[in-house]
Amino acid sequence: MSLNVIDDQYNDLPFEVTPYSPTIGAEISGIDLAQPLTDAQVEGVRAALLDRKVIFFRDQDITTEQHLDFARNFGEREVHPFAPHKEGYPEVLAITHDRERPGQENGWHSDVTWRLEPSLGSVLRCLECPPMGGDTLFSDSYAAYDNLPEAVREKVEGKYALHDFEGFRTRLRDRGIGEEQIEAFNKSYPNPEHPVIRSHPETGRKGIYVNAAFTKHIIGMAQADSDALLGVLYHQANMPEYQCRFRWAKNSIAFWDNRACQHYASSDYWPHFRIVERVTIIGDVPYYKSDGPATDLDESPFRGRIKRQHTDPGPNLFKV
């Protein structure tokens, strides 16, 4: 599969692939997720996911069991310890937002990086969406890394950062969970240290692996210096050139690679309903290798300020 360009590679797959942007996102058509996938379809979906980081399916009227069966093709399913699950299905997160429970996932993040072994990917299906709004945006972590200013890259290569489920801890207390039980969660999910730049275990590509939701600080740096450097890394996810945007409809499905992208659920639809269910696939321990495939920046589709900042980041972008 290609590293960062659209070409004719998808002609060999047993379904159609329509890319959403130069480097991230694609819609898959010609496949019915209500039916068991063939080996060729599983291999093709995995290949499309690895290349596009997030893939989308439309008009998939499937059951909860079929949702789980699809995810099972790519690994074991995790049980989220804090988020509400669908009754009778501990592996299915039930996410409902309405007038009393407005959306709150509108921050860039990669799922469960507070785990020692964060997820491989997430499969989200829409049961009910608002008449307008509620889109999910995805940001390419490879492109975010590839286009870092050289001065920043020199400071983050090989560094590790601490991750924590602090936001969930706050919600647990709001729900009346006692400190003894919270301490039990702390012991079950100790704060992991993950590489700031992660090597993808299947593609070998390097991508930024810190996020504002769960990353606390870079190990071995003063907090002020860490905060400044993390701010630069977080800013990369905000670049529209690295993003695609998905507009939900009933029976739409998104499958994203948490090792290669971040996502942002737009919260612009209150007081309407948005009901989705998520199955998350268990991943492995993140690691960093100095070598591996790299994008040829001379062939990058990104120009303007993005290209200039490699050698001249500017006074307001990087102050550490």
> Is 59 a catalytic site residue?
no
Closest CA to 50 of 259, 295, 292, 263: 259
Closest CA to 216 of 320, 114, 104, 83: 114
> Is 46 a catalytic site residue?
no
Alpha-carbon gap, residue 75 to 123, rounded angstroms = 12
Kindly name the residue from 52, 67, 194, 263 that is annotated as catalytic: 263
Kindly name the residue from 77, 109, 163, 205 that is annotated as catalytic: 109
Mind giving me the DSSP string for 114-180? Answer: TSSS--SEEEEEEEE--SS---EEEEEHHHHHHTS-HHHHHHHTT-EEEE--HHHHHHHHHTT--HH
Alpha-carbon gap, residue 215 to 33, rounded angstroms = 35
Kindly name the residue from 80, 97, 198, 278 that is annotated as catalytic: 278
Kindly name the residue from 111, 140, 146, 257 that is annotated as catalytic: 111
Cα–Cα–Cα angle for 83, 200, 314, nearest 5°? 95
Closest CA to 317 of 241, 233, 238: 233
> Is 200 a catalytic site residue?
no
End-to-end CA distance of the chain: 37
> Is 80 a catalytic site residue?
no
Query: Among all residues, which ones are annotated catalytic?
Result: 109, 111, 263, 278
